[in-house]
Amino acid sequence: MDINTLEKKRKEVEVFGVTYDRYVLFQHHQILTRELGLKKVVDMPSHGAKAAGSLYSIGFGNAGCDVTLVNPEIEMMYGWENLNLQDKVSTINNVDVCKTGIPDNTFDLAYNFVTWTELEDPLRYLKEMKRISNKYVLLVTCNNFQPGYPWHRFLHEIFGFEWNHGKVEYNHITRVKKLFKQTGLDVVEYGAIDTPGWPDPSGPRDVRLHRRFGKGKDEVPKKKPDWEVPFLEYVRTGNYPGWMKALGKWDMTFRKGLFKLPMSHLFYVLGRK
**Measured distance CA(71)–CA(54) in Å, rounded:** 9
**Measured distance CA(257)–CA(110) in Å, rounded:** 21
Q: How much is the pLDDT for 219?
A: 53
The average confidence (pLDDT) of the chain is 89
Give, as one character, the DSSP assignment of residue 144: S
Length of the chain counted residue by residue: 273
Domains and CATH numbers, the chain: 3-272 (3.40.50.150)
Provide Rg for the chain, Cα atoms: 18
What percent of the chain is modeled with pLDDT above 90? Answer: 71
Residues facing residue 43 across a β-bridge: 69, 111
**Measured distance CA(257)–CA(191) in Å, rounded:** 4
pLDDT tens-digit readout, 71-127:
999 999 999 999 999 999 999 999 999 999 999 999 999 999 999 999 999 999 999
Give, as one character, the DSSP assignment of residue 209: H
pLDDT tens-digit readout, 15-59:
888 899 999 999 999 999 999 999 999 999 999 877 889 999 999
Q: How much is the pLDDT for 13?
A: 85
Helices vs. strands in the chain: H and E counts, helices first: 10, 9
Of the listed ranges 133-137, 209-213, 254-258, the one predicted with least confidence: 209-213
**Measured distance CA(94)–CA(161) in Å, rounded:** 28
**Chain centroid to CA 27: how far?**
14
Q: How much is the pLDDT for 220?
A: 53
| Mean pLDDT value across residues 247-269 | 96
Task: Assess whether pLDDT exceeds 50 at residue 7.
Answer: no
pLDDT tens-digit readout, 160-175:
777 777 899 999 999 9
pLDDT tens-digit readout, 196-222:
988 886 667 777 766 666 655 555 555
Tell me which amino acid residue 43 is: D
Report yes or no: 52 and 229 within 8 Å, Cβ to Cβ.
yes
> Which residue did the predictor score with more confidence, 270 or 151?
270
Q: How much is the pLDDT for 92?
A: 97
Task: Assess whether pLDDT exceeds 50 at residue 1.
Answer: no
What's the whole-model pTM score? 0.91
